[in-house]
Amino acid sequence: MSSRLQEIFFSSAKKFGERIPLEEISGHSISYSELEKSVREKSAFLSANKIGKGCRVAVLAPKSIDTISTLFAILECGAAYIPIDAEIPDERLQQILGNLNPHALIGSQLGARNPENSFNLPNGKSVATFFTAENHSEDLAYILYTSGSTGAPKGVCITHGNALAFINWCAKTFPVNENDRFSSIAPLHFDLSVFDLYVSLGCGATGVLFDEATTKNARMMGELLCKKDISVCYATPSLLSLVLNFGKIESRDFSKMRLVLFAGEVFPVQHLHALMKLWDNTTFYNLYGPTETNVCSHYRIPVPIDESQSEPYPIGKICLHLEGKITGEGELLIAGENVTIGYWQRIDLNSKAFVQYEGKTFYKTGDRIEENAKGDLIFRGRIDRMIKKRGYRIEPEEVEATLLRHADVLEAAVIEGKDADGYSLIKAFLSLRKNSEGNLISIKQHCLELLPAYMIPEKIIFMESLPKTSSGKVDLKELAKIK
């Protein structure tokens, strides 16, 4: 059994040398042996530039065969990679890089902060810029940045052991093999991509890389999921619903689609049932878990469809290699191999998010959970204010802090709303300074410059002043009543 994440790929490269591990939407592909050669060339280059154990390498590049080759090369050097959204606003990028203090940044020349110390990686498609930084002592494989309640993104540190525990569980739980074709839909900075990448390569299968432009086009997604003979698909419910409603899938042959996993948000029953009727030879699983644990529970959607089911399906039972506890408040706590060692350079957050119980470290998910008569766990919302939207976790405080930076905004409050299909959206309530010229367009532009697209409020409501509680705080319950 592999002890390092990259060994999953190298093991398959030996066994499946001429098979195709990765294919881009354009049709461009590479063999396992060719990919291995690319990884080793890049790894040698990085090692020659003093990238090794304890180093952190930020990767600011779109998903591609070249980018994934770079990730494996970083791991082979003994370093950790940090995938960053290539479309991220510059200020947010600087926040992440300032917190991370990386030893290298790999991406386009535009992303380099120190061009005179930049070099082309082997094959010339990427540029690496090197910096002087302090090495870490943890056995990190990668760091994923998520929204932070303090107004700045926070980095979730994932060790090789964390990632391998999840990947090995997947290999035992889901019947995948070298003949499968996985849809790699999630961006690399999103934890769903770990399954797409490592589980597919671990069994010698092919991962088809869906770029961001494609995943935003539901009609194209419907066409390509069929055309590319996808047999294993892992996506958020909101994306699957878009494909259902706009992908024209009722007129296509999806007989090869045999396994669909969904996670990141609640799947409204009516949409799930409609998709199951069209993909009637497919097994569906609801997977649950925050980035700090990856998947920690799962539930196989029963067939035949129970038309009387009106509530969302359970999140199921805790994975066998993990342990769950429900507190008196109903909050789910998780311990075990998947659980991260904490947040990068955020001791303050670690002490709040992780607790010790009977000699074990439990992560406080913040999710309110109930157990039904069958022993399955049911998601009942959040203990705190966090919003889960399209699989992303969004801290309202971070969006509020950004809105308050607009010169005309006096007060700002952000809550979760729902669209017509029952999916989460962000609602912002603003009061403006007297005689200000602030308007919807200027507020939206302000957000575009500072926040990633998924954190921009879909609804902005202007008020003379925001309602207050008796203690003078913004009354979020009153705001929730406003449509």
Q: Report the 3 state secondary structure along 224-235.
A: HHHHCCCCEEEE
List the Cα angle 2/284/225 in 5-degree steps: 85
Is the residue at 364 inside a domain?
A: no
Same domain, 215 and 67: yes
Of 288, 315, 330, which one is at a domain's C-terminal end? 288
In a domain, 296, yes or no: no
Q: What is the pLDDT of residues 407-436, one digit of tens each?
A: 999 999 999 999 988 899 999 999 999 888
Per-residue buried b or exposed e for 332-350, using 16+ beta carbons within 10 Å of the residue's own CB: bbbbbbbbbbbbbebeebb
Whether residues 270 and 416 fall in one domain: no
pLDDT of 212-245, one tens digit each? 999 999 999 999 999 999 999 999 999 999 999 9
Give 158-163's long-range contacts (Cβ < 8 A, gap of 24+): 158/340, 159/340, 159/341, 160/3, 160/4, 160/5, 161/337, 162/294, 162/337, 162/338, 162/339, 162/340, 162/341, 163/5, 163/194, 163/198, 163/294
Q: Is 381 inside a domain boundary?
A: no
- Number of structural domains (the chain) is 2
Tell me the average pLDDT across 7-33.
96
Percentage of residues in the chain having pLDDT higher than 70: 97
Confidence at residue 122, expressed as pLDDT on a 0 to 100 scale: 83
pLDDT of residue 150: 66
Does pLDDT of 302 surpass 90?
yes
CATH number at residue 476: 3.30.300.30
- In whole numbers, what is the pLDDT of the chain averaged over residues? 93
Q: Which residue has the higher pLDDT, 126 or 42?
A: 42
For 56, other C-beta atoms within 10 Å of its C-beta total: 26
284 and 423 co-located in one domain:
no
pLDDT in tens, 170-206: 999 999 999 999 999 999 999 999 999 999 999 999 9
The reply to whether 422 and 283 lie within a common domain is no
Q: Is the dihedral of CA 380, 385, 389, 394 positive or negative?
A: negative
Model confidence at 31: pLDDT above 90: yes
In a domain, 339, yes or no: no
- Least-confidence region, from 84-88, 188-192, 355-359, 435-439: 435-439
Residue 272, in any domain of the structure:
yes
Range of the domain at 407: 395-480
Residues 6+ away with beta carbon under 8 Å from 278 = 244, 249, 250, 254
Question: Rounded CA gap, 411 and 430, in Å?
Answer: 6
Are 110 and 248 within one domain? yes
- pLDDT score at 152: 80
- What are the tokens at 129? 């810029």
Give residue 329's pLDDT.
95
In a domain, 380, yes or no: no
pLDDT recorded at residue 115? 57
Q: Concatenated DSSP letters for 280-329?
A: TT-EEEEEE--TTTS--EEEEPPSS--TT--SPPP-BEE-TTEEEEE-TT
111 pLDDT more than 70: no
Q: Which residue from 89, 105, 96, 37 is spatially nearest to 65, judged by alpha carbons?
A: 37
Distance CA 175, CA 201 (A): 14
Contact of 257 with 275, CB cutoff 8 Å? no
Give the separation between CA 363 and CA 375, rounded to whole angstroms. 21
Closest CA to 215 of 185, 244, 193, 184: 185
Peptide bond preceding 457 in cis form (omega within 30 of 0): no
Q: How does strand 297-300 pair with strand 317-318? A: antiparallel
Task: Identify the CATH number of the domain in which residue 67 sits.
Answer: 3.40.50.12780
Over 90: is that where the pLDDT of 116 sits?
A: no
pLDDT of residue 125: 76
Query: Beta strands 206-209 and 181-184: pairing type?
Result: parallel
And the tokens for 247? 């992908």
Q: Report the pLDDT value the prediction gives residue 56, as an integer from 0 to 100.
A: 98
CA distances from 351 to 87, 271, 276, 347, 363 (A): 32, 39, 43, 6, 10
- Name the domain boundary from 232, 261, 288: 288
Q: What is the pLDDT of residues 382-402, one digit of tens each?
A: 999 999 998 888 999 999 999
For the cut 70, the answer to whether the pLDDT of residue 108 exceeds it is: no
Residue 112 has pLDDT above 50, yes or no: no
Q: Has residue 264 been placed in a domain? A: yes
217 belongs to a structural domain: yes
Q: Which of 221, 254, 288 is the last residue of a domain?
A: 288
DSSP string, 355-406: EEETTEEEEEEEEEEEE-TTS-EEEEEESSS-EEETTEEE-HHHHHHHHTTS
